[in-house]
Each structure stands twice: as C-alpha cells, then as structure tokens.
Amino acid sequence: MKITNLKETPRIIPKMEGAKGVTKQVPISKEDGTPSFSVRVFTIEPGGHTPFHSHPFEHLNYIIEGKGAVVGKDRELDVKKGDFALILPGETHQYKNTSDSEPFVMICAVPKEYE
C-alpha cells in the first residue's frame, strides 16, 4: 500500500519535443510496484501545450483544475475541471491550456511500461 500527496511529489520538466509550459509529477509509478498503470499529473501553464503525438496504448485522463482542449487530427474538443478523456491507441492528440491566466492540470494514467 502507498499513500502520497501531490504536494510532496517532485515536479519535472518532461523531455517531450514540442511541449511548451508543461511540468509532470508521477505520484504512482512502476517503482511503487503498481501491477498495471502509472499515474502522472501534468500541469500546463497558460499558452502551453503537450506535443502533437500518438502511442500504441490508451491513456485515461481526468481534469482536476482549469480548462483546455484536446486536439485531434480533425477536431478540437474543450475540456474543463471534472471532465474525463479517453485517448485510444494510435490516436494522434495534443492537450493545450486555453486559459489566459489559470493552469490546466490533469491526471494521466498509462500502462506502467510507458512510464
């Protein structure tokens, strides 16, 4: 069993080409012995975004603060605090912060092997 607090989880700047204004925290990872998923928390500053990318596995997101958009190949969907998003394997996507002043914070669960 592990209990942790996000405030105690170190922030890192992820090595993602094409990312702007993004920090990542990993409160639960394969190093903790999780059998399936790692849980990451991304904070995207106003004007920031993740890279436009895809990967061969799904990932599950929950917006815990702010508002933003999920950008796909042919559409852009607004998301806000309380929303869930499912990105399917191979689906090209990007998250961006659409606020001028507030951070956009989301939980992102991925297979532990990806972390």
Structure tokens at 52: 């436009």
Residues 60/84, Cβ–Cβ less than 8 Å: yes
Q: What is the pTM of this model?
A: 0.93
> Each residue of 20-66: pLDDT tens digit?
999 999 999 999 999 999 999 999 999 999 999 999 999 899 999 99
6-111 CATH fold: Jelly Rolls (2.60.120)
Report d(CA 79, CA 66) in Å as an integer. 9
- Locate the domains of the chain by residue range: 6-111
In angstroms, the Cα distances linking 101 to 24, 49, 68, 104 are: 19, 14, 12, 10
Residues 77/69, Cβ–Cβ less than 8 Å: yes
> Each residue of 16-31: pLDDT tens digit?
889 999 999 999 999 9
